[in-house]
Amino acid sequence: MSVMVVRKKVTRKWEKLPGRNTFCCDGRVMMARQKGIFYLTLFLILGTCTLFFAFECRYLAVQLSPAIPVFAAMLFLFSMATLLRTSFSDPGVIPRALPDEAAFIEMEIEATNGAVPQGQRPPPRIKNFQINNQIVKLKYCYTCKIFRPPRASHCSICDNCVERFDHHCPWVGNCVGKRNYRYFYLFILSLSLLTIYVFAFNIVYVALKSLKIGFLETLKETPGTVLEVLICFFTLWSVVGLTGFHTFLVALNQTTNEDIKGSWTGKNRVQNPYSHGNIVKNCCEVLCGPLPPSVLDRRGILPLEESGSRPPSTQETSSSLLPQSPVSVPDFKTLRALTEHLSSNEMPEDSTPEEMPPPEPPEPPQEVAEADK
Amino acid sequence: MATEVHNLQELRRSASLATKIFIQRDYSDGTICQFQTKFPPELDGRIERQLFEETVKTLNGFYAEAEKIGGSSYLEGCLACATAYFIFLCMETHYEKVLKKITRYIQEQNEKIFAPRGLLLTDPVERGMRVIEVSIYEDRCSSGSSSSGSSSSASGSSSGGGGGAGSR
């Protein structure tokens, strides 16, 4: 006897998230849309290291020490792990305000500033806050309809507000923000060390082998060496310089964005209120501090829509395309307590079938999703 | 499970959402997650001021604990770095553990304090840690007269009850 199995396709929240991100592995991986340069980064690192392990390492392990390829492998694995972590994780995206929240904030703004006449562009919305005795301005983001937290910024490439926004890095194919800054820093640090290591041992290899068979013969035997040296040479100048710059930023607890804008420099500007004043403390906080989890909930299940409509294009950023508000479903006990309160306040009238509004499609799947949890 | 689902539907039909208010973040201590403890005027008469402020202060305390920079957080960070962050595949971070505590606390508070007063707190983590959303419920039978104009049509997207009351 054959049994028909009906598989219900669940829609996960990542499929409906606004913003210009790409998601893979059913929402587990989150990247920017343009990934070409990221693939180039991967290719360069993998290619150079493959050549190094295939040719130079075999000679050097025998002639000098087997520890050489071991350290190289460790550096290689560490930099790949941190690269993938940087590229694939949520940088600290702040979800956009749901319609209720956006309306509430708009009401508050109008109450403070007064209504703007039709046709006029509203003034930039700014709230002032005092942090550690210094005034910090919070800007309103028109796209996300929220007041951005301090140090957050809207990335125009990914179309998201990101907490502690550093910069958008095309080489890792993602924004660098609060949640992945330490991975990014460790990636460029380990890549610098790896580049220096590979470069140095290529020189050693060429030197040692040239003593035996001559310089030109060496290059003819392993032409990959030339390629590796060239790649490492150019990488050195850029990556080591970048590592130095970010070490400076970490020591002062600043972001690239703040540095470029000159937020904390200049005599008329406020001092950085986030710095502890101590290099060690700043480094510890940025690199070893607590790591907040992603608030995007990419793999959460959305209530089933009526038809299999595709996710909207990101040009339409109106809030009506956001998922429906009832994301938080009160549990059974809470709702019972709530209804007991309500029924104890009023005499419950017998609601006739005509008065009851028709049951809405989203409701049953919500409970199923709840039951699934 | 079918009867529980049926009961949930029934319960939800009898409660209707009147309005939502949003407790904003308090950035006076920097970027750490803290919420304003100022008592919102919309809750006047619905819940005792002290109870509400205590709830928000406790939540703030939890978040401060999650983001505390100290010996244990450094140890966790260094250990994670030493394992190239692979350890997070099998271990929960301290922050995640505290967030779970917060979820349980909010559920408890809803059950014991807020729901009996016709209110419902939403876990800030479901709102991107931007706001604490407080939903104010009215009985559906009385909602025709009591729902205020501020119960905007935007709120009609929730549990279905607002549609009957708010869309006029």
In terms of average pLDDT, the best of A82-86, B4-8, B22-26 is A82-86
Closest chain B C-alpha to A206 CA, distance in angstroms: 32
Phi/psi for A203 (5° steps) reads -60, -45
Say if the Cβ atoms of A285 and B69 lie within 8 Å: yes
What is the length of chain B? 168
**Amino acid identity at A43:** F
In which band, very low, low, confident or very high, does the pLDDT at A10 lie, cut at 50, 70 and 90?
A: confident
pLDDT at A5: 66
Please determine, for residue A233, whether its predicted confidence score (pLDDT) is greater than 50.
yes
DSSP result, B16-52:
EEEEEEEEPB--TTSSS--B--PPPGGGTTTS-HHHH
- Mean of pLDDT values over B60-82: 90
Lowest pLDDT segment from A5-19, A58-72, A220-234, B54-68: A5-19
B154 CB within 8 Å of a chain A CB:
yes
- Mean of pLDDT values over A353-370: 42
In which band, very low, low, confident or very high, does the pLDDT at A369 lie, cut at 50, 70 and 90?
A: very low
A316 CB within 8 Å of a chain B CB:
no
ipTM of the prediction: 0.76
Closest chain A C-alpha to B127 CA, distance in angstroms: 7
Closest chain A C-alpha to B100 CA, distance in angstroms: 11
**Partner residue opposite B115 with nearest CB, options A97, A338, A343:** A338
In which band, very low, low, confident or very high, does the pLDDT at A106 lie, cut at 50, 70 and 90?
A: confident
* DSSP-derived secondary structure letter, A139: E
Say if the Cβ atoms of B28 and A151 lie within 8 Å: no
| Chain A residue at shortest CA distance from B26 | A129
- Catalytic: A288? no
User: How far apart (Å, rounded) are the C-alpha atoms in residues B19 and B35?
Assistant: 20
Catalytic one among A169, A175, A232, A283? A169
pLDDT at B61: 95
A345 CB within 8 Å of a chain B CB:
yes
pLDDT tens-place string over residues A294-346: 998 888 888 765 444 444 444 433 443 344 444 455 666 676 676 666 666 55
Q: What is the domain partition of chain B in residue ranges?
A: 11-37+50-139
pLDDT at A111: 76
B22 CB within 8 Å of a chain A CB:
yes
The whole-model pTM stands at 0.79
**Partner residue opposite A291 with nearest CB, options B68, B93, B128:** B93
Q: Which of A28, A100, A298 to mutate to test the interface with B (most CBs of B within 10 A)?
A: A100
A73 CB within 8 Å of a chain B CB:
no
pLDDT at A229: 93
In which band, very low, low, confident or very high, does the pLDDT at B124 lie, cut at 50, 70 and 90?
A: very high
* CA distances in angstroms from B63 to A129, B14, B161, listed in the order given: 20, 35, 33
Please determine, for residue B109, whether its predicted confidence score (pLDDT) is greater than 70.
yes
User: How far apart (Å, rounded) are the C-alpha atoms in residues A326 and A222?
Assistant: 64
Closest chain A C-alpha to B18 CA, distance in angstroms: 12
